[in-house]
Amino acid sequence: MDHLSIFSFLLALHLSISGVISTTFTFVNKCDYTVWPGILSNAGVPTLPTTGFVLQTGETTTVAAPASWGGRFWGRTLCSQDTDGKFSCVTGDCGSGKVECSGNGATPPATLAEFTLDGSGGLDFFDVSLVDGYNVPMLVAPQGGSGDNCTTTGCISDLNGACPSELRVMSVDGKDGVACKSACEAFNSPEYCCSGAYGTPDTCKPSTYSQLFKNACPRAYSYAYDDKTSTFTCANAVDYTITFCSSPTTSQKSTQGQDTKQESSSNSASPQLNNDNTMVYEGGIDQSEISKAMCTHVLLLQSQTIACIISITMVLWRLCQLL
């Protein structure tokens, strides 16, 4: 057998094995408005099957991720398509002009969920970050994982209404706040951006603005070096359920995603804090949704395993033909 045939065999075998799915991400929209999740994979890791999609109120979508995947998710809101077919969003827009973000990240401000699967010590690392600002409530709940720090995190408080005027992003008609900037984006100051002389954990400290985020969402990143209370780890989690608005929120609405009309309501989801300053999450994930996510993961594993076996069998058959 020549060198090219050997290389082809090894490459096919590698791709078959590396294609086995390790984790799923289940997206749930409990907002009473449409959300368009965006996805950006880290450099050097495989991309996911989609980089952006629509999630109507009450919908659930599951996306499978390969082993050692890393990247971020966010929710885009108040999206529409113009007469030329260009797609854009008032918050969280990725600038691709399409529903798929295709390698583009979120335009701040945007609530981010960040993941590194199978990282140091074989653990998954994840967090919800408000470092780039806030636009939509988000909750991340690991399913089937273990570890002392394997727990739910996120920001379920609606910060748009409570956002200081100097950080507030207004709706197109100027009537309502639809997102809340970080102090770094608003003022571009090294003190707020943890840059220059403030580029170390010793010199960059929480600001009055980051404390507003932290008080409302104690488990979410509020500034660049907010690691101790905001990074979480799990071993062997089968799924991470990412819920937008863990209970119905009416702070912003869009009819079928094409209407940029804003409304405010006192029914927005809000966190409660107990005495040790940890967030009590109410209206989180239904057990039926957890079961659905886990079953979906098992089915995906089975289908991927069968596909892997078939691929290896075909490669071995091809190898025999060459010999």
Residue 21 confidence (pLDDT): 56
Residue 303 confidence (pLDDT): 44
Residue 252 confidence (pLDDT): 54
CATH class of this structure's domain 25-286? mainly beta
| pLDDT tens per residue, range 291-313 | 443 344 334 444 444 444 444 44
| pLDDT tens per residue, range 238-294 | 999 999 998 654 455 433 343 433 333 333 333 332 333 333 333 343 434 434 433
Ranges of the chain whose pLDDT falls below 50 = 1-19, 249-250, 253-317, 319-320
Closest to 140 (Cα-Cα) out of 212, 149, 132: 149
Q: How far apart are CA 117 and CA 125, in angstroms?
A: 6
Residue 246 confidence (pLDDT): 85
Does residue 311 contact residue 16 with C-beta atoms inside 8 Å?
yes
Whether the link from the prior residue into 108 is cis, omega within 30° of 0, is no
Q: How far apart are CA 55 and CA 30, in angstroms?
A: 10
Closest to 29 (Cα-Cα) out of 93, 81, 97, 76: 76
Q: How far apart are the first and last CA of the chain?
A: 6
Residue 229 confidence (pLDDT): 86
Question: Which residues, listed in sequence order, are joined to residue 292 by a DSSP beta bridge?
Answer: none
